[in-house]
């Protein structure tokens, strides 16, 4: 058993600042009182699932705390999903109530604005002082290699283990303040709420990422930690290098995840006094599995560090191979259509699909963020999901999607299409209602045939060569024009 996290936290540090948004602050006592009042108005019972389809906000934070207090299971939907994608996930997760901040979504079945939700018939409850460690806290959807998103269960023990492992690595001080620009519907964002409950640290919540606003908050509001994805880090570095104003010594760490961080970024950060360390984790591991120690940031640049205290990591190969993870932070399984699929082997190992290696000192290096995965602005995009949508078009015979390098987003999807006739259908328009905008290909190339092996599997490495060849031709033409 574990204590009810918010109840225990308010007992320990009732007057410490828990939340800060645009200069307004709430203590843990105030968070508890507001969450309790909301929970008493919730129409759901303990153990039932409440969906969140919303951007970061004060309201979202307090509804999350209320749902946790009432021991509801929180199901998070990416705010950028299309209606079709959302409806599949809502049905698959068996959610009866989904709350949102957008009026244009409230007409959908079982979707309510925040204020509508608490106006429904309430279900009384009593605050429980203790929780089962197997209790499901959150469910987040991640795309699988088949293209069908899977709902990942994250238990109380998963979150606690992850938070303790991070604390033993980075340390915890009473004055710690985490700046959260990551979406709360991502594990990187929600894990900050869980860590703040366990550590008693303050959370400064931002609605969206704005480089100048983030740097100003670091310099003026006592922020000590920040978590970003690679694209955010790139924008922060550019802004920081332009204004050349130093950061306070109280600011200790920037955790960079969401895919391997390019070495040039890390070198620029270190030379500028930007305290960046790389971390490695995923939805199935409730955030971090490995994180580089700050004092090793320069000597081991490019490494994701060593496995955290409660995590085991091994490589399925002699030198390089698939990364396997084991520990109490690893999900026990999935919900919905994927509920019968085992998340781990009988020995407890989770196959990540990522390729990596250890150096002679036991530091992990991520070589590839899954062979097929596209990481665009920190969002994981699986080509199979896009291909599935493309193949639903009546004129499309075959489709292959791979990553194309992009200065702004790191990677973006690019599609190769085989069609039945000579006309090229408007696939961008076709996908606009089927896939979130960030998943839609930035370009299409219509070809006669796609490269496939003897087992009829798509050879994506050949498609990547086609893109590289096209980029090379364009660069050659530009050089010729300039000369």
Q: How far apart are CA 179 and CA 207, in angstroms?
A: 11
Is residue 145 a contact partner of residue 353, using CB atoms and an 8 Å limit? yes
pLDDT at 471: 62
Q: Are the beta carbons of 4 and 128 closer than 8 angstroms?
A: yes
Indicate the average pLDDT of the chain. Answer: 91
Residue written as tokens 């999900």? Answer: 331
- What sections of 171-303 are H helices per DSSP? 187-199, 211-220, 230-243, 263-271
Q: What is the mean pLDDT of residues 338-358?
A: 93
Closest to 384 measured CA to CA, from 142, 77, 88 = 142
- In DSSP notation, 441-457 reads -SEEEE-S---B-TT--
pLDDT at 255: 94
Cβ pair 281, 325 in contact under 8 A: no
224 pLDDT band, cuts 50/70/90, is very high
Q: Which two three-digit tokens encode residue 254?
A: 């920037």
Nearest to 241 by CA among 263, 275, 273: 273
Helix/strand/coil for 110: coil
The distance from CA 348 to its chain's CA centroid, rounded to whole angstroms, is: 23
Give the residue among 109, 47, 35 at the shortest CA–CA distance from 74: 47
47: CB partners within 8 A, 6+ apart: 71, 72, 73
What is the per-residue pLDDT for 456?
Answer: 57
143 has pLDDT over 90: no
- Placement of tokens 């839609």 in the chain: 440
DSSP, residue by residue, 112-136: EEHHHHTTSPP------SEE-TT-E
419 close to 426: Cβ distance less than 8 angstroms? no
Tokens (6 digits) for 92:
């698959």
Neighbour tally for 23: CB within 10 Å? 7
Residue 230, pLDDT above cutoff 70: yes
Query: Does residue 477 surpass a pLDDT of 60?
Result: no
Q: What is the pLDDT of residues 73-101, one digit of tens each?
A: 999 999 989 999 999 999 999 999 999 99
Cβ 350 vs Cβ 324: under 8 Å: yes
Q: What is the pLDDT of residue 473?
A: 55
Q: Which structure tokens are listed for 386?
A: 């896009």
Lowest mean pLDDT among 143-157, 340-354, 429-443: 143-157
Distance CA 324, CA 326 (A): 7
Q: What is the DSSP letter of 301?
A: T
Q: How far apart are CA 58 and CA 187, in angstroms?
A: 18
| Per-residue model confidence as pLDDT tens digits over 249-306 | 999 999 998 777 777 778 888 888 888 989 999 999 999 999 998 888 888 888 999 9
Whether 232 contacts 408, CB under 8 Å: no
377 has a pLDDT exceeding 60: yes
Q: What is the pLDDT of residue 474?
A: 42
Three-state secondary-structure class, residue 419: strand
Give the H or E element holding residue 65.
helix 58-69
Give me the percent of the chain exceeding a pLDDT of 90: 72
- Domains (range + CATH), the chain: 2-368 (3.40.50.12780), 374-482 (3.30.300.30)
**Residues 399, 388: contact at Cβ < 8 Å?**
no
> Please, is 279 exposed, middle or buried when counting C-beta atoms within 10 Å of its C-beta (0-12, 13-18, 19+)?
buried
Which contacts (CB < 8 Å, 24+ apart) does range 428-437 have?
A: 430/393, 431/386, 431/389, 431/390, 433/82, 433/83, 433/84, 434/82, 434/84, 434/85, 434/389, 434/392, 435/82, 435/85, 435/385, 435/386, 435/389, 436/78, 436/80, 436/81, 436/82, 436/85, 437/80
For 451, residues 6+ apart whose C-beta sits below 8 A from its C-beta are: 458, 459, 462, 463
Q: How many residues does the chain have?
A: 483
| Paired tokens of 126 | 């009593």
Of the candidates 50, 36, 9, the residue with the CA atom closest to the CA atom of residue 196? 9
Range of lowest pLDDT (149-153, 181-185, 237-241): 237-241
Q: Which residues touch 244 (CB under 8 Å, ≥6 apart)?
A: none
Residues 53, 184 contacting (CB under 8 angstroms): no
> What pLDDT score does 257 carry?
86
Question: For the CA atoms of 19, 24, 30, 34, what is the dihedral angle to 10 degrees?
Answer: -90
Pairing of strands 287-291, 253-257: unpaired
Distance CA 400, CA 147 (A): 13
CB 287 within 8 A of CB 188: yes
- Give the per-residue pLDDT at 374: 86
């Amino acid at each position: 058993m574990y204590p009810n996290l918010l109840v225990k936290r308010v007992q320990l540090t009732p007057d410490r600042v828990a939340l800060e948004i645009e200069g307004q602050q709430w203590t843990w006592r105030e968070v508890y009182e507001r969450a309790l009042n909301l929970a008493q108005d919730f129409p759901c019972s303990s153990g039932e699932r409440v969906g969140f389809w919303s951007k970061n906000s004060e309201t979202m934070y307090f509804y999350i705390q209320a749902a946790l207090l009432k021991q509801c299971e929180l199901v998070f939907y990416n705010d950028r999903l299309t209606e079709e994608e959302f409806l599949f996930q809502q049905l698959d997760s068996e959610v009866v109530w989904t709350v949102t901040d957008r009026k244009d979504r409230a007409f959908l079945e079982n979707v309510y604005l925040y204020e509508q939700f608490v106006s429904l018939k309430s279900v009384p409850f009593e605050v429980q002082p203790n929780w089962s460690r197997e209790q499901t806290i959150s469910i987040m959807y991640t795309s699988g290699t088949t293209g069908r998103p899977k709902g990942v269960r994250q238990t109380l023990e998963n979150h606690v283990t992850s938070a303790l492992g991070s604390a033993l690595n980075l340390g915890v001080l009473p004055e710690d303040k985490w700046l959260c620009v990551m979406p709360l519907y991502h594990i990187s964002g929600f894990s900050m709420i869980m860590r703040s409950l366990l550590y008693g640290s303050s959370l400064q919540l931002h609605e969206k990422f704005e480089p100048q606003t983030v740097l100003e908050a670091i310099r003026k509001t006592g922020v000590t930690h920040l978590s970003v994805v690679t694209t955010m880090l790139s924008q922060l570095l550019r802004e920081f290098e332009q204004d050349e104003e130093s950061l306070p010594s109280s600011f200790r760490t920037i955790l960079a995840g969401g895919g391997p961080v390019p070495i040039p970024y890390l070198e620029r950060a270190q030379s500028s006094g930007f305290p960046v360390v790389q971390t490695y984790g995923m939805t199935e591991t409730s955030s971090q599995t490995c994180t580089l120690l700050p004092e090793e940031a320069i000597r081991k640049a490019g490494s994701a560090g060593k496995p955290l205290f409660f995590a085991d990591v091994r490589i399925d190969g002699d030198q390089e191979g698939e990364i396997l993870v084991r520990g109490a932070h690893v999900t026990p399984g999935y919900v919905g259509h994927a509920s019968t699929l085992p998340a781990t082997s009988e020995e407890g190992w989770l196959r990540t699909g990522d390729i990596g290696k250890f150096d002679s000192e036991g530091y992990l290096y991520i070589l590839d963020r899954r062979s097929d995965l596209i990481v665009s602005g920190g969002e994981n995009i699986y080509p199979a999901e896009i291909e599935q949508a493309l193949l639903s078009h009546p004129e499309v015979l075959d489709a292959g999607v791979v990553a194309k390098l992009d200065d702004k987003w790191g990677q973006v999807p690019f599609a190769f299409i085989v069609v039945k006739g000579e006309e090229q259908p408007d696939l961008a328009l076709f996908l606009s209602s089927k896939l979130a905008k960030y998943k839609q290909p930035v370009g299409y190339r219509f070809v006669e045939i796609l490269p496939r092996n003897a087992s009829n599997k798509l050879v994506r490495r050949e498609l990547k060569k086609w893109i590289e060849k096209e980029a090379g031709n364009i660069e050659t033409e530009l050089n010729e024009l300039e000369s």
